[in-house]
Structure 1
Amino acid sequence: MSSVERVRLTYAFDAYCGWCYGFEPALHEFAAANADRIELRVLSGGLFTGPRALPVSAYPHIPGANERIAQLTGVTFGDGYRAALADGTVVMDSADAATGLVALRSQPGASALDAAAALQRAWYVDGRSLSDPEVYRELATELGLDADATAAAFASPAARAEAESDFFEVRRLGVDSYPTLVLHTAHGTDRLGGPVSSADALTRALEQYLAAATAA
């Protein structure tokens, strides 16, 4: 492998996935530490779509899962989110959230990873519905992006179609759980780390791959 060739990675996540929220700090640290040697794309997996797009109260296992996520990753769930859980009426619609990610990442100067993290903060910290168009205006402003253009993109059929394309690509890669970090190799794909991997562990796994690729 030449020194200028970047390793291609795909991060398959869902904005309404608590384990993805727990994994995000480590992934962000890993991506920053290895920015010169990786090319990372972020795709939505579509965890809560169709008949699974239901009020959060329809998933009674979530509070217990959150406790485990917090214990294993150290993330904090915000008061706004806890209030939304207690209320129970917010519908978790991953198609809307995925469309929002498309709307944000398509803006000039946008970082898809930063956009994904902002989506998860909006839900897991503030308890905001990711179906609310106003959320994307606010996130765009927070990320230094054009709020009007982002809102227009969120409402567009093209962004919805691209979100559906994300779902298809994630399935094509064989991913059925989130978060999953996929390493693209000359021979196919491998998984890199797992939901509770630290940034250092992810970097070690990447270096093992690079060493093996160089040896080959």
Structure 2
Amino acid sequence: MSSVKPLRLTYAFDAYCGWCYGFGPALHEFAAANAERIELRVLSGGLFTGPRALPVSAYPHIPGANERIAQLTGVTFGEGYRAALTDGAVVMDSADAATGLVALRSRPGANALDAAAAMQRAWYVDGRSLSDAEVYRDLATDLGLDADAVAAAYASPAARTEAEADFLEVRRLGVDGYPTLLLHTAHGTDRLGGPVSSADALTHALDQHLAATAGA
């Protein structure tokens, strides 16, 4: 058993961020490839909160952005999601989504990155609102978690408070866009890659940091 401390990383994302959806597969591959040496936490950034929590129809740039995301990352957007875009009524409320992530990731045996990906599939594939408590019951079941416990957590003030703490922590870290993957170092944080980085590119960036640290 290695006694080397794992490298700490923070993934700042938003469940309603299309670029985060596009980045997800590469990040998952990177996390799996480096599982023995990294410790990854997932925080919600709060992209659509307060006056920005509006029906998806209020953001007419989204379909065009999705085309670009698909071209650059290879992800696909599902029929359910396209129907939700056409209807335009789903309110994108990142505070609700962040609370849902807290409810999922706080369960024993939960993997926060898997939970985040499941939430994004619910929206970007199936077109389901991330403000719907039933979504979290279904995701909990899919993830092998206690659906009743997740539903109770989603409804709790404590989960909402923790979600708001995520937003504050992301701001404290200086994140100004999503997705952002940060490596915590002795002197602060370094950003690894960008929205269209491959898993190999992320691993290479991590290796470069380690080599630079070793040579310092």
- TM bracket, shorter-chain basis: over 0.9
The count of residues paired between Structure 1 and Structure 2 equals 215
User: Which letter does structure 2 place at the counterpart of 1:91?
Assistant: V
CA distance in 2: counterparts of 1:119 and 1:80, whole angstroms: 14
SS in 1 for 2:41: strand
User: Which letter does structure 2 place at the counterpart of 1:36?
Assistant: E
TM-score by length of structure 2 reads 0.99
Equivalent in the alignment of 2:6: 6
TM-score by length of structure 1 reads 0.99
Equivalent in the alignment of 2:16: 16
TM-aligned CA deviation for residue 4 of structure 1: 1.4
Equivalent in the alignment of 2:41: 41
CA distance in 2: counterparts of 1:38 and 1:110, whole angstroms: 17
CA distance in 2: counterparts of 1:193 and 1:25, whole angstroms: 14
User: Which letter does structure 1 place at the counterpart of 2:205?
Assistant: A
CA distance in 1: counterparts of 2:140 and 2:74, whole angstroms: 27
User: Which letter does structure 2 place at the counterpart of 1:96?
Assistant: D
CA distance in 2: counterparts of 1:3 and 1:122, whole angstroms: 39
User: Which letter does structure 1 place at the counterpart of 2:208?
Assistant: Q
CA distance in 2: counterparts of 1:86 and 1:18, whole angstroms: 16
CA distance in 2: counterparts of 1:214 and 1:77, whole angstroms: 42
TM-aligned CA deviation for residue 105 of structure 1: 0.1
Equivalent in the alignment of 1:209: 209
CA distance in 2: counterparts of 1:158 and 1:184, whole angstroms: 27
Which structure 1 segments of 5+ residues have no match?
A: none
CA distance in 2: counterparts of 1:200 and 1:133, whole angstroms: 36
User: Which letter does structure 1 place at the counterpart of 2:91?
Assistant: V
CA distance in 1: counterparts of 2:211 and 2:144, whole angstroms: 38
SS in 2 for 1:181: strand
Equivalent in the alignment of 2:127: 127
TM-aligned CA deviation for residue 3 of structure 1: 6.1
SS in 2 for 1:193: coil
CA distance in 2: counterparts of 1:4 and 1:32, whole angstroms: 18
CA distance in 2: counterparts of 1:114 and 1:17, whole angstroms: 16
TM-aligned CA deviation for residue 5 of structure 1: 1.6
TM-aligned CA deviation for residue 159 of structure 1: 0.1
Indicate whether 1:152 and 2:152 are aligned: yes
Equivalent in the alignment of 1:200: 200
What whole-Å deviation, never above 9, does each CA across 1:36-94 have from its counterpart, x for those lacking one?
A: 01010000000000000000000000000000000000000000000000000000000
CA distance in 1: counterparts of 2:41 and 2:183, whole angstroms: 11
CA distance in 1: counterparts of 2:5 and 2:158, whole angstroms: 32
TM-aligned CA deviation for residue 8 of structure 1: 0.6
CA distance in 1: counterparts of 2:215 and 2:165, whole angstroms: 36
What whole-Å deviation, never above 9, does each CA across 1:161-199 have from its counterpart, x for those lacking one?
A: 000000000000000100000110000011000000000
Q: Cα RMSD between the aligned structures?
A: 0.8
User: Which letter does structure 1 place at the counterpart of 2:112?
Assistant: A
Equivalent in the alignment of 2:74: 74
Identity across matched positions, percent? 87
- Equivalent residues in 2 for 1:161-200 (5 A)? 161-200=161-200
